[in-house]
Chains A and B, each alone.
Chain A
């Protein structure tokens, strides 16, 4: 059974860079042709897609966040990473990693999700 687990600091200072890791178990990122994504959810609010990546390194970002986001992957560790720079309080959210369900497609629904990790931006 595929499992995803987010990890990283729960508190980040304004103007700094938020860095999160998603560890995938029960399947290999590099032996499949799926895209993997990051989604965030501010407290009490809705879901926002951040971006998606294929193990080959092909990435797609939400245009509203593109200038501040970097998503990468380490196939040897079966992990994907999220970096969000110049954060402000409005970036406070639960961050989820998830698998896009359709092979070879960067536009798909999400079938496997991590449990999410709360990141608070505050001094």
Chain B
């Protein structure tokens, strides 16, 4: 099984901050990685797929990078609507999610 380790688990930031979340795979997954945003009581929303491809309709302040075992999600300028929990997902071999990163107001 491929394990996904995501960090930090919680991140305190202010509006306008640049935010980076990291996801590490237990083995190489090439670029088969997605990022989701989830707000309380809602289903996850796809942000990024194939490590760096932006889903249609997602603001350009979200970006993804990485390949192999190390990946990052960056929010270039945090907006009020971005306070949420973010998950990575590998789909190189079936599917495994990271533990999540909660982005909260500083």
Q: Which of B13-52 contact A (CB under 8 A)?
A: 32, 34, 42-46, 49
Interface range on chain B: under 10, 10 to 19, 20 to 34, or 35 or more? 20 to 34
Quick one: closest A residue to B44, CB to CB? Answer: A113
Q: Considering the chains assembled together, what is the distance between the CA atoms of A106 and B91 in angstroms?
A: 9
How far is the CB of A110 from the nearest CB of chain B, in Å?
7
Q: Are A114 and B95 in contact (CB under 8 A)?
A: no
Interface range on chain A: under 10, 10 to 19, 20 to 34, or 35 or more? 20 to 34
Q: Considering the chains assembled together, what is the distance between the CA atoms of A111 and B44 in angstroms?
A: 9
Q: Are B43 and A109 in contact (CB under 8 A)?
A: no
How far is the CB of A107 from the nearest CB of chain B, in Å?
5
- Contact of A63 (CB < 8 Å), options: B1, B42, B89, B98: B1
Q: Are B49 and A101 in contact (CB under 8 A)?
A: yes
Most buried by B among A39, A47, A63: A47
Of the A-B pairs whose beta carbons lie under 8 Å apart in the complex, a sample of 18, sorted by A's number, is: A37-B95, A46-B87, A46-B97, A46-B99, A46-B100, A47-B87, A48-B97, A49-B94, A52-B94, A60-B94, A96-B43, A107-B32, A107-B92, A107-B93, A109-B34, A110-B89, A111-B46, A113-B43
